[in-house]
C-alpha cells in the first residue's frame, strides 16, 4: 500500500483571487477529490494569505489520509503580471501590497512541496484544454468574459507563454481604433465592449439617449446578468446589446483565426453564461468575416465553470513536468 | 574528399512566384553559393514549370561540382493554400490551373531529392528568422507589405503552422470593422490599407477630393513607391498617407503583441523600403497603445530583401530535419 502511495498520484491546485482562494486536491487524472474555498482577506498581508493557503493544503492532505510525498506539486494560479520560471508575482491590481512576491519560494518553504506558478487566465485555459471543452485539440484560444476580458493560448499542444509570460491578453486586442479609452491607455480594446463592465456601460449609454427598456426600471447598479435576463424576456435594447457583444467578439475572433489558424475558441467567464444568445451572434459574425480554412474553427462555451481556475492550476503541475 | 562530400552539406531553395522562380544552392550554413532566376511562364502548365525548376537544380549542382547525394533536400516555397505534410498545393491565384498539385511527389520524382513544401510567406519568415533581422529571437512575427499583406510566425523557436498550414494571415486582421470590403469578403482588413495597393487606393481617393499634391501630376498608374518618393520631397498628402500606413500597422501590431507577447516584429516587402518614414509612425502608434511588457517588442525592417523567399525555402529543409 505504501508503495502505491509513493507513486506521486496527487496534485494540488490553488486559484488565488482578489476575494476568494480556491484550493483543491486532485488525483493524477485530475479528478477533484477535496475542495475548499476561503476568503482572501488581502488586507491582512501576504504572509497571512500564504500561511492560510498552506494550512488548507495540509488539511486536505490529512482529510484524504495521504502524505506530502504523494504530491507531484502545487499549481498556483495568480493574477499577474508574473514570471513563471522564477515564480514571482510582480504586482496585482486586486491584491494590495503585492509587489515582486516570490510566491514559489515562499510557498515551497511553507509546504515543503514543489510549487509551479501560473497566470490565472493561462491556468484556466490549461484547465479547459486538459479537462474541459478544448480537450484533445492542438491549437486553442481560451477567452474569459468577466469584469475584464482575459485569455490564454494553447499552441501546438502546449500553453503558450510568450516572451514575458504575458501572452493571451486578448482583452487588449483593438476592436475600434478610435473607440473609447481603456484602463490600459489604449483606445477601443475589446475589453471595453464585450466584458460584463462593457455590457453595462453600453446599456447605460443607450438608456441615456431615451431608448425604452425594462432595464430603465432597474437601479443604477444593474449587472450584465440583468441585461441577459432582460434579453431572455425579449427586451429590445437588451437583445441588441447582447447581439452586439457577440458581434464584437466575432470580429476579434476572425482576426485571431486568420493569424493563428486555430482548432477551437473556448469562451468562459460569467458573461458566457448567456450561452446561445452570445454564441449565435459570435458565430454569425465570425463566418461572415473569415476565410477558408480559418473559418473551420470550433467556437464553444467553456465547460468547467468557476472551477476552471483551480483545475487549471493543478494542470500546471503536469504541464511543467511534461506530462 | 569524397567522405566530406557525402556529409550532405548542401541545401536547395526554390521560391515559386507568379512571374519568376528563384532557385539557389546553399551550403549548410545557408550561405548562397549559386543563384538563378527564371520566368515562371505559368501558362505553359505545371509539368513545364516543375521540369524547368528541376533542370535548373541539376545545373546548379553541376556548376558547383557536387553530386545529388550531397544535398539534404529541396525547400520549395509556393503561394498557398497548401498542405506542408502531404506536399500538395491546393490552389494559387497567380498560378493558373494549379489545383491540388502534389508538388512534393512530382518534384521528388523529377529530382530524386527529398522535397519540403512551405507557404512562401512562411518561408520568408523562416529566412528572416534564421539569417535575417530576427536571428536568434524566440517569438517573431514577419510581415510582408507588397500587393497584399502576408506574414508568418515563429513561436517558441519554430515556424508556427496552425491547424491547416494557414497561420500568419496577418493581412486579414481587421483594422476597421466597418471599413471597405476586402477581396476575402471581410471588411476593413489591414491589407486594404497598408499594402502597396492600399497606399495607392487611399492616395487616389484623397486626390479625388481635390487635395493638392505633386502626385496629381502623375498618370493614373502611379505606385506606392511614387507616394514614398513624393513624401521624401515633402509632399503633404504623400507624407500623411505614409504616416497613416504606419499608424494602421502600429494598431494591428499592438493587438498582436498583447495576444502573443513577441520578441520581435520584422517588416519586409516592397513597402518596407520606405524605411524610417514607415517605421517611425509604426513605433509611435504602437507605443501609444501597448502595455508593458508587450510594448518591449522590437520592430525592425527585414534585412534579406527579395532573397528572403529563396533563403527561407532553403531554411525549410533544416527546419523539417529539426536542425
pLDDT > 80? residue B6: no
Per-residue confidence (pLDDT) for residue B7, from 0 to 100: 47
The residue among B315, B310, B317, B321 whose CA lies nearest residue B53 is B310
- The CATH 3.30.420.40 domain(s) of chain A lie at 2-126+307-320, 135-303
B183 touches chain A (CB under 8 A): no
pLDDT digits (tens, 9 = 90+) for B170-200: 999 999 999 999 999 999 999 999 999 999 9
pLDDT digits (tens, 9 = 90+) for B69-90: 999 999 999 998 999 999 999 9
The residue among B126, B40, B110 whose CA lies nearest residue B75 is B126
**Cβ contacts of A173 on chain B, cutoff 8 Å:** 255, 258-259
C-alpha span between B306 and A200 (Å, rounded)? 51
C-alpha span between A12 and A310 (Å, rounded)? 9
B140's enclosing H/E stretch is: strand B140-145
Per-residue confidence (pLDDT) for residue A6, from 0 to 100: 38
Query: Regarding the domain with residue range B134-302, which homologous superfamily does it belong to in the CATH classification?
Result: ATPase, nucleotide binding domain (3.30.420.40)
CATH code, A135-303: 3.30.420.40
> For domain B2-126+307-320, which CATH number applies: 3.30.420.40, 3.30.70.1380, 3.40.47.10, 3.40.50.1360?
3.30.420.40
Give, as one character, the DSSP assignment of residue A180: P
Best of B177, B191, B244, B251 to mutate (most A CBs within 10 Å, chain A): B177
Residue B45 near residue B64, CB atoms below 8 Å: no
What is the percent of chain B where pLDDT is above 70? 98
Per-residue confidence (pLDDT) for residue A256, from 0 to 100: 98
Is A163's CB within 8 Å of B187's CB? Answer: no
What separation in angstroms does the CA of A287 have from each of A140, A151, A296, A304, B164? 18, 22, 9, 26, 17
Per-residue confidence (pLDDT) for residue B322, from 0 to 100: 83
Average pLDDT in chain B: 94
Q: Which sign does the torsion angle of CA A278, A279, A281, A282 carry?
A: positive
- The CATH 3.30.420.40 domain(s) of chain B lie at 2-126+307-320, 134-302
The low-confidence residues of chain A, meaning pLDDT below 50, are 1-7
The residue among A293, A192, A149, A88 whose CA lies nearest residue B164 is A293
ipTM: 0.94
Buried b (16+ CB within 10 A) or exposed e, A173-190: bbbbbebeebebebbbbb
Q: Label residue B25 by pLDDT band (50, 70, 90).
A: very high
Contacts (Cβ under 8 Å, ≥6 apart) of A233:
A214
Per-residue confidence (pLDDT) for residue A317, from 0 to 100: 96
pLDDT digits (tens, 9 = 90+) for A263-308: 999 999 999 999 999 999 999 999 999 999 999 999 999 999 989 9
C-alpha span between A35 and A78 (Å, rounded)? 18
What are the DSSP calls for B202-223, one per residue? HHHHHHHTT---GGGGS-TT--
Give, as one character, the DSSP assignment of residue A305: G
**Cβ contacts of A174 on chain B, cutoff 8 Å:** 251-252, 254-255, 289
Is A172's CB within 8 Å of B254's CB? Answer: yes
C-alpha span between B202 and B218 (Å, rounded)? 15
A175 touches chain B (CB under 8 A): yes
Per-residue confidence (pLDDT) for residue B92, from 0 to 100: 85
pLDDT digits (tens, 9 = 90+) for B249-281: 999 999 999 999 999 999 999 999 999 999 999
The residue among B63, B16, B9 whose CA lies nearest residue B31 is B9
B175 touches chain A (CB under 8 A): yes
C-alpha span between B198 and B218 (Å, rounded)? 17
CA angle at B190 for the pair B270 and B245, rounded to the nearest 5°: 55
pLDDT > 50? residue B39: yes
Of the ranges A86-100, A107-121, B49-63, B294-308, which one carries the lowest mean pLDDT score?
Answer: A86-100
**Cβ contacts of A139 on chain B, cutoff 8 Å:** 162-163
Within 39-68 of B, beta carbons closer than 8 Å to A belong to none
Give the count of Cβ contacts less than 8 A between chain A and B: 142
The residue among A153, A188, A152, A154 whose CA lies nearest residue A172 is A188
**Cβ contacts of B262 on chain A, cutoff 8 Å:** 162-163
**Cβ contacts of B138 on chain A, cutoff 8 Å:** 163
- Measure in Å the smallest separation between the Cα of B34 and chain A Cα atoms: 34
Per-residue confidence (pLDDT) for residue B88, from 0 to 100: 98
Q: What is the mean pLDDT of residues B211-218?
A: 89
Report pTM.
Answer: 0.95
CB atoms within 10 A of CB A136: 10
The three cell numbers of residue A122 are 493561462
What are the DSSP calls for B237-271, one per residue? HHHHHHHHHHHHHHHHHHHHHHHH--SEEEEESGG
Per-residue confidence (pLDDT) for residue B4, from 0 to 100: 40
Residue B139 near residue B123, CB atoms below 8 Å: no
Q: Label residue B128 by pLDDT band (50, 70, 90).
A: very high
Amino acid at each position: 500500500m505504501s508503495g502505491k502511495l509513493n507513486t506521486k498520484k496527487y496534485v494540488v491546485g490553488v486559484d488565488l483571487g482578489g476575494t476568494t482562494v480556491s484550493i483543491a486536491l486532485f488525483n493524477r487524472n485530475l479528478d477533484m477529490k477535496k475542495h475548499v474555498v476561503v476568503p482572501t482577506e488581502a488586507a491582512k498581508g501576504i504572509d497571512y494569505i500564504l500561511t492560510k493557503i498552506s494550512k488548507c493544503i495540509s488539511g486536505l492532505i490529512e482529510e484524504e489520509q495521504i502524505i506530502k510525498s504523494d504530491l507531484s506539486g502545487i499549481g498556483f494560479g495568480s493574477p499577474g503580471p508574473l514570471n513563471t520560471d522564477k515564480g514571482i508575482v510582480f504586482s496585482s491590481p486586486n491584491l494590495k501590497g503585492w509587489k515582486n512576491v516570490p510566491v514559489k519560494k515562499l510557498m515551497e518553504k511553507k509546504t515543503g512541496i514543489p510549487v509551479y506558478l501560473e497566470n490565472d487566465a493561462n491556468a484556466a485555459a490549461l484547465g479547459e484544454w486538459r479537462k474541459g471543452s478544448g480537450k484533445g485539440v492542438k491549437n486553442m484560444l481560451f477567452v474569459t468574459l468577466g469584469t475584464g476580458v482575459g485569455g490564454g493560448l494553447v499552441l501546438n499542444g502546449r500553453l503558450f507563454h510568450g516572451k514575458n509570460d504575458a501572452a493571451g491578453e486578448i482583452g487588449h486586442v483593438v476592436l475600434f481604433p478610435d473607440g473609447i479609452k481603456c484602463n490600459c491607455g489604449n483606445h477601443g480594446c475589446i475589453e471595453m465592449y464585450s466584458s460584463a463592465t462593457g455590457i453595462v456601460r453600453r446599456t447605460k449609454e443607450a438608456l441615456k439617449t431615451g431608448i425604452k427598456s425594462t432595464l430603465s426600471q432597474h437601479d443604477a447598479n444593474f449587472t450584465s446578468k440583468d441585461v441577459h435576463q432582460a434579453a431572455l424576456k425579449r427586451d429590445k435594447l437588451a437583445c441588441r446589446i447582447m447581439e452586439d457583444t457577440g458581434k464584437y467578439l466575432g470580429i476579434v475572433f476572425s482576426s485571431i483565426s486568420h493569424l493563428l489558424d486555430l482548432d477551437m475558441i473556448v469562451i468562459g467567464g460569467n458573461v458566457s453564461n448567456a450561452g446561445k444568445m452570445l454564441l449565435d451572434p459570435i458565430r454569425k459574425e465570425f463566418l461572415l468575416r473569415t476565410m477558408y480554412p480559418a473559418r473551420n474553427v470550433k467556437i464553444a462555451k467553456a465547460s468547467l465553470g468557476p472551477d476552471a481556475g483551480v483545475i487549471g492550476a493543478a494542470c500546471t503541475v503536469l504541464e511543467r513536468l511534461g506530462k
